[in-house]
Amino acid sequence: MAGRLKLGMVGGGQGAFIGAVHRIAARLDDCFEVVAGALSSDPQRAQASAAEANLARSYADWREMARAESARDDGIDAVAIVTPNHLHAPVATAFLEAGIHVICDKPLAVSLAEGDALARLAREKRRLFALTHTYSGYPMVRHARELIEAGELGDLRVVQVEYAQDWLAEPIEQSGTNKQAVWRTDPKLSGPAGCLGDIGTHAYHLAGFITGMLPAALAADVHTFVPGRRLDDHVQAMLRYANGARGMLWASQVASGAENALRLRVYGTKAGIAFDQEEPNELWFTPLGGAAQRLTRGRVQGAAAAHATRVPPGHPEGYLEAFAQLYKDAALQIEALDAGRPLPPESRFLTTVDDGVAGLRFIDAMLASSAAGGQWREI
Amino acid sequence: MAGRLKLGMVGGGQGAFIGAVHRIAARLDDCFEVVAGALSSDPQRAQASAAEANLARSYADWREMARAESARDDGIDAVAIVTPNHLHAPVATAFLEAGIHVICDKPLAVSLAEGDALARLAREKRRLFALTHTYSGYPMVRHARELIEAGELGDLRVVQVEYAQDWLAEPIEQSGTNKQAVWRTDPKLSGPAGCLGDIGTHAYHLAGFITGMLPAALAADVHTFVPGRRLDDHVQAMLRYANGARGMLWASQVASGAENALRLRVYGTKAGIAFDQEEPNELWFTPLGGAAQRLTRGRVQGAAAAHATRVPPGHPEGYLEAFAQLYKDAALQIEALDAGRPLPPESRFLTTVDDGVAGLRFIDAMLASSAAGGQWREI
Amino acid sequence: MAGRLKLGMVGGGQGAFIGAVHRIAARLDDCFEVVAGALSSDPQRAQASAAEANLARSYADWREMARAESARDDGIDAVAIVTPNHLHAPVATAFLEAGIHVICDKPLAVSLAEGDALARLAREKRRLFALTHTYSGYPMVRHARELIEAGELGDLRVVQVEYAQDWLAEPIEQSGTNKQAVWRTDPKLSGPAGCLGDIGTHAYHLAGFITGMLPAALAADVHTFVPGRRLDDHVQAMLRYANGARGMLWASQVASGAENALRLRVYGTKAGIAFDQEEPNELWFTPLGGAAQRLTRGRVQGAAAAHATRVPPGHPEGYLEAFAQLYKDAALQIEALDAGRPLPPESRFLTTVDDGVAGLRFIDAMLASSAAGGQWREI
Amino acid sequence: MAGRLKLGMVGGGQGAFIGAVHRIAARLDDCFEVVAGALSSDPQRAQASAAEANLARSYADWREMARAESARDDGIDAVAIVTPNHLHAPVATAFLEAGIHVICDKPLAVSLAEGDALARLAREKRRLFALTHTYSGYPMVRHARELIEAGELGDLRVVQVEYAQDWLAEPIEQSGTNKQAVWRTDPKLSGPAGCLGDIGTHAYHLAGFITGMLPAALAADVHTFVPGRRLDDHVQAMLRYANGARGMLWASQVASGAENALRLRVYGTKAGIAFDQEEPNELWFTPLGGAAQRLTRGRVQGAAAAHATRVPPGHPEGYLEAFAQLYKDAALQIEALDAGRPLPPESRFLTTVDDGVAGLRFIDAMLASSAAGGQWREI
């Protein structure tokens, strides 16, 4: 690639978790430098956060930032949106209108209507709209997708996906000190889905990404365990696919002992695979009746894993590298879009605004099925 | 214990799998000697099988065996029933009527009515009726139950149980050479439940055994993947418990690559546990927010694990030892019953006919819910 | 096989560990019934132990037992010797002289001279002399040997074998209550090697069994960590093989946290394998530059694993089954010897008295090298 | 920290592996920007590599670079030396003489004399001299050291360290296409130690880093398996420590199937630990007689792990993050040195030039012991 792109950021000030992650990810492969930001709605905090992050330009307001940056010759090429969910759509709209590419945290928005509007706008403006479904940046996740595309599993029959954490097993939002917990359990900031929007959508996206298919229908049970909590903290569902495959999905933030246990298993007529996000350098592949094989990044043949790999096998890559991969693919696509070239094929796994819309449809179907006593619901 | 008890066997002739397993299990702890059998409905095969198994007395017919053995001074104390499912009830009835204790393979029977009748008869005759839910014989399974009884997990919130195999991923019953596959996919021999009765009931029992609670309701999807198969080969369900806990259960015999993957995870307000039948010498215990601990047979404190253990930690015990544990507990109970003494407390984990009835209720609810399009159904 | 053989036992009374293990192992595959014993040198204890073990005949003295049993028409076919090490040779000699087959615990004897004499005597008397190196009874250990025999690893280059325990990390022999600890740390009962004889010989045998080659030379460091202990509790050595291969061996009974961690890794020019006794149902096979494969008992092709397997893959077998395999192979060889037939090929993996002599040579070389400051010493 | 430091690089041009790794590591935590380089001895390649790496200034010669950069107001603060081993000392000397801080790949030099001179010079010039023993940057490695410092293992008894790879199992240096293989097997470029210098020193450093002690003596076997290879490709040694502890070390680049298997186990009187570089987010801690605990980055209490952690538990960090940690600590120390402040305590784990000298002493002792037929040799 020819030099670094310029990145701005909205949200992600001091005390936030994901902002710093985005900045590392953007920097890691030397595709972006972060030069501007509206890191906090509190102007003083915004200023201090920007200084700490070595940003050249700090804004007190993201609307002003969109305007100012689009007016500069050396303005940002893209903006990373890392605010609470309710701001994703307004901020993204402002930057798209200003002609600036968007890289946005998931879930895409707090309603399907918002999401559909964003998708339309991005298409109309011919700007990149990438959604950071981080886990699709892992080399072995992409290799799994390639295996399935190549027919190595045969016809898919069973999908088992789960995402378990324990950080919300107690009502930690009530003390107010954990900002993450506060906004993620507040419907005004998070939208109607708690655990469902935060990690359920990751599980849903991962299953869809790897299998190449989305369920046709689901039956859900959306539940809140912790007394006083205003959003769900545990969801589960059964899935049916158009080809007859069956699936199950669960996501929980009250699974005592679980750290960040996103796991997927897929079984086809010829073989099964298993991926565990906490061991991302390996993918298990087991032929029907055969021996399990531990496929590793760097030893498998395959363009997708090679494209997403920096160091040799046995030198573990992790979450930040997966995240960086999304930024690398975004940079490849931005350069192509800006040059009017077709998107480079090796960047094809980058999550799109349409994936974000699919996630919002999933949320809607889950909430509707559960509200209707678990009835099967088309997605 | 005072000497060996005498065991007879119905079913389990040449070519059968589970008969030989029962004989090893009965012998392993020196509680039983197998002395008589009606090992096959084919008289010649019965005779040859009995000779091969070093049995003193071979019968061509199980009705005759029940009669003859009850008439002998040195007749059998108990019978092991290892036939296809449709014979469990008639054979058990004959031996109970003859005053002989019964150790029976699961599922208990092919209908709830049959099962209820057996339970009544066993109670009336004051004979042992043990069901071989093998996996409840593992020391670490029993230790898990003790941990939950002791409140170490807090209030239970989430139950995840699964049982995956791949041996029926292809229509191997159609060639006729795999006898197991033939009878297990034939409703006349297996009853109305295929995978559901064969391994679904194991998963259901294990979850109930460890948690000490059965679900109040379920929503199911019972499915057959392999074309031409007459019984289900994949089942999945969502569960609700009276205390508000949520659960999921799946069992599949088409999960390519899976050998005998029975796994249970339970999460409470204080900790979570995980058990994997393929690694039975360990139990994972993880406190909320803490480090996972690998508890092992022989290093944990606890009467239940100690009672079910033969060799020191690091000397793996397996499936046959778990099975033998059921026979050991059965022997303890038979001696107590015959002597009119109360059942020994250390044998309290032995699976009962009532557990078998619970399994039949589960089968009924699964089939009914699935037939009704996945509606929630009380159990 | 045609009926059960009759087994006697010397040693293994109440409080002993390995005697009960031998009895289970002898019984498990229905090849032997244990009918007679001199279970303790204390006559009262011998009597009580025999009753508890359901033995038909109890002797207060093993010399008397050898005489009496050889005189009976229904006398024992074989004797299992499970005494402390110093009695292995005298007891074995007595029974061999009486024409009775011998199955003996390891190490074979307390000196090489004793061992050589036993080997000569067994040959002369044409009686079985099997040594219970249990770990060679595991199906996946035997499969590993077959893989290497078949050239699947190419030329062998590196052997890494280790056996770590922690049960002697503290001076528990000093209280006198742990009988195992008392005799195993007493040179009069154990011979000159402590940890070296108890588990070092297992590690040495396993490496030799699987690779099919014994080292030509070693350099050793034999050490005692626990103050006041009279025998070694930690040994380590470097190995050289005639083909140029290198190896390392260590065995420790003070490795805090280790249960029974016997592990072997072998690397050849084409592939490497790894076996862990605590996970005996699997063997890891990794081609040069390729993906690790988890080979499992029951899914691998191979006569050796099949011969040593009772239940399908995913139904774990363990230590007792490995032990039982030695008894099964012993029974096959006894029947052949008694009938004057050649030994059945499927029993060929049974450990012999010559293996025991090799173990004594290893002990001698280890002690000599260490005493000479770690000089390389031919074996 | 106040802004980014400026980094130069010598070596690491196109086709090199470790140069790109250093650049990512330097950038990851935003402590450095890479602005200048003499990336190759081939001027054209140097120029092209610098452009690809977005460097502001490219030099054809590292002597010229040292001169020019020290003369500039905005010259580099530090240089990263990523050349083959034989250039470490001359390049480092030039930059130290120019008053520029040095971050250097290991091994420090190709002889102990060179290393000693470097250590003296760095002290005299009061410049940082950090050695990139990457694996000491892992949070759980640092936590292990803290546990041992805090006495959680009791007195240390046994150290087992190993580093296995398979990339040199065949004579790949002979084709000339793998540049890594060519220079690493060439004594003129690598010095007298092959596998020993490349990965043996890593194993040695890791053991010393975690245990806080270096062996007093060793007995070694340094070997070359691959015909025609000019340096060792497999080394093994026994170790003795001043406190009586015993150890073993092996490193091999012909261990078929091994990727980058650096593993350490340490056993003390109270507990044992195990670390596997391929699973760097966890550390196993097992008390004597107790249950193994899986300690994870982010869930353990401890300043060292916290300082070296970027993302929450369950979000894996890897090799690049460990590498970045060395750069972060180097930045902290450079700022302190430049400001005349004491080194910040949280940076105390950074590898020093003295660690590099210790590594060279280890190489010398290994070669000398092996040449003398494996005699014990003081280090």
**CA nearest C21 in B: which residue?**
B311
Whether B376 and chain A come into contact, CB under 8 Å, resolves to yes
| Alpha-carbon span A137 to A305, nearest angstrom | 10
> Which parts of C72-217 fold into alpha helices (H)?
88-97, 112-125, 139-149, 179-184, 187-190, 195, 201-211
Q: Which of C290, C296, C299 sits opposite A299 (nearest CB)?
A: C290
pLDDT of residue D2: 56
Place of tokens 């300690």: D295
Average pLDDT, chain B: 96
Report CB contact under 8 Å: C278, B3. Answer: no
Q: In what order do the strands lie in the sheet with B101-104?
A: B57-58, B32-38, B5-10, B78-81, B101-104, B129-131
Whether the Cβ atoms of residue C295 and residue C260 lie closer than 8 Å to each other:
no
The chains found to touch D (3+ Cβ pairs under 8 angstroms) are A, B, C
Whether B290 and chain D come into contact, CB under 8 Å, resolves to yes
| Alpha-carbon span B53 to B15, nearest angstrom | 13
Report CB contact under 8 Å: C293, A289. Answer: no
Whether D325 and chain A come into contact, CB under 8 Å, resolves to no
> Which parts of chain A fold into alpha helices (H)?
18-28, 43-52, 62-71, 88-97, 112-125, 139-149, 179-184, 187-190, 195, 201-211, 303-307, 319-339, 353-371
| Alpha-carbon span A155 to A83, nearest angstrom | 40
Report CB contact under 8 Å: B312, C260. Answer: yes
- Pair of tokens at residue B49: 């099988």
- The percentage of chain A sitting over the pLDDT mark of 70, rounded to a whole number, equals 99
A256-271 confidence digits (pLDDT tens): 999 999 999 999 999 9
pLDDT of residue A15: 78
Q: Which of D29, D279, D320 sits opposite A310 (nearest CB)?
A: D320
Nearest Cα of chain D lies from the Cα of A204 at a distance, in angstroms, of 18
D24-39 confidence digits (pLDDT tens): 999 999 999 999 999 9
D199-252 confidence digits (pLDDT tens): 999 999 999 999 999 999 999 999 999 999 999 999 999 999 999 999 999 999
pLDDT of residue A2: 56
Per-position DSSP letters for D288-349, written without gaps between them: TTS-EEEEETTTS--HHHHHT--S-TTS---HHHHHHHHHHHHHHHHHHHHHTPPPPGGGTT
Average pLDDT, chain D: 96
Q: Which residues of D touch A22 (CB under 8 A)?
A: none
The chains found to touch B (3+ Cβ pairs under 8 angstroms) are A, C, D
Q: Report the CATH fold assignment for D5-127.
A: Rossmann fold (3.40.50)
Whether C269 and chain B come into contact, CB under 8 Å, resolves to no
| Among candidate residues D108, D355, D370, D140, the one with its CA nearest the CA of residue D264 | D140
pLDDT band, residue C307 (cuts 50/70/90): very high
Q: Where are the domains of chain D?
A: 5-127, 136-309+358-378
Nearest Cα of chain B lies from the Cα of A271 at a distance, in angstroms, of 5
Residues B357/B361/B362/B364 CA torsion (nearest 10 deg): 140
Q: Report the CATH fold assignment for D136-309+358-378.
A: Dihydrodipicolinate Reductase; domain 2 (3.30.360)
Q: Which of C4, C20, C311 sits opposite B319 (nearest CB)?
A: C311
Place of tokens 């209550």: C177
- Pair of tokens at residue C25: 């192992």
Whether the Cβ atoms of residue C31 and residue C1 lie closer than 8 Å to each other:
yes
**pLDDT score of B3 more than 90:** no
**Which of C33, C34, C259, C327 has the highest number of chain B CBs within 10 A, making it the mutation to test binding with B?**
C259
Q: Which residues of B touch D312 (CB under 8 A)?
A: none
**Phi and psi for D369 in degrees, rounded to 5?**
-60, -45
| Alpha-carbon span A24 to A19, nearest angstrom | 9
Q: Which residues of B touch D296 (CB under 8 A)?
A: 291
pLDDT of residue A352: 97
**Which of D158, D235, D284 has the highest number of chain C CBs within 10 A, making it the mutation to test binding with C?**
D158
Task: State yes or no: cis peptide before D107, omega within 30 of 0.
Answer: yes
Place of tokens 């298990």: A284
Residue range D350-377: mean pLDDT, rounded: 97
Q: Which residues of D touch B285 (CB under 8 A)?
A: 291
| Alpha-carbon span C267 to C292, nearest angstrom | 13
Q: Which CATH architecture has domain B139-311+358-378?
A: 2-Layer Sandwich (3.30)
Q: Which of A289, A290, A293 sits opposite C291 (nearest CB)?
A: A293
**CA nearest B257 in C: which residue?**
C299
How many angstroms separate the first and last alpha carbons of chain D?
Answer: 40
User: Looking at chain B from residue 39 to 68, which residues have their Cβ under 8 Å from any Cβ of chain A?
Assistant: none
> Which parts of chain D fold into alpha helices (H)?
18-28, 43-52, 62-71, 88-97, 112-125, 139-149, 179-184, 187-190, 195, 201-211, 303-307, 319-339, 353-371
A334-376 confidence digits (pLDDT tens): 999 999 999 999 999 999 999 999 999 999 999 999 999 999 9
- Please tell me the CATH code under which domain C139-310+358-378 is placed: 3.30.360.10
User: Looking at chain C from residue 241 to 260, which residues have their Cβ under 8 Å from any Cβ of chain D?
Assistant: 244, 246, 248, 250, 252, 254-258
pLDDT band, residue B2 (cuts 50/70/90): low
Report CB contact under 8 Å: B292, D293. Answer: yes
Whether C151 and chain D come into contact, CB under 8 Å, resolves to no
pLDDT of residue A294: 98
D269-320 confidence digits (pLDDT tens): 999 999 999 999 999 999 999 999 999 998 999 999 999 999 999 999 999 9
| Among candidate residues C71, C137, C158, the one with its CA nearest the CA of residue C280 | C137
Whether C171 and chain D come into contact, CB under 8 Å, resolves to no
The percent helix, strand, coil of chain C (3-state, each to 5) is: 40, 20, 40
Residue range C80-109: mean pLDDT, rounded: 97
Q: β-strand B32-38 against B5-10: which pairing, if any?
A: parallel
| Alpha-carbon span B265 to A168, nearest angstrom | 18
Whether A320 and chain D come into contact, CB under 8 Å, resolves to yes
- Pair of tokens at residue D285: 């801690």
Residue C124 identity (one-letter amino acid):
E
Q: Which of D166, D236, D285 sits opposite C238 (nearest CB)?
A: D236
DSSP letter (8 states) at residue D251: E
Q: Report the CATH fold assignment for A139-309+358-378.
A: Dihydrodipicolinate Reductase; domain 2 (3.30.360)
Whether A166 and chain D come into contact, CB under 8 Å, resolves to no
Report CB contact under 8 Å: B281, C278. Answer: yes
Whole-angstrom CA distances from B266 to B251, C59, D50 are: 17, 52, 55
| Alpha-carbon span C348 to D162, nearest angstrom | 35
Q: Which residues of A touch B170 (CB under 8 A)?
A: 288
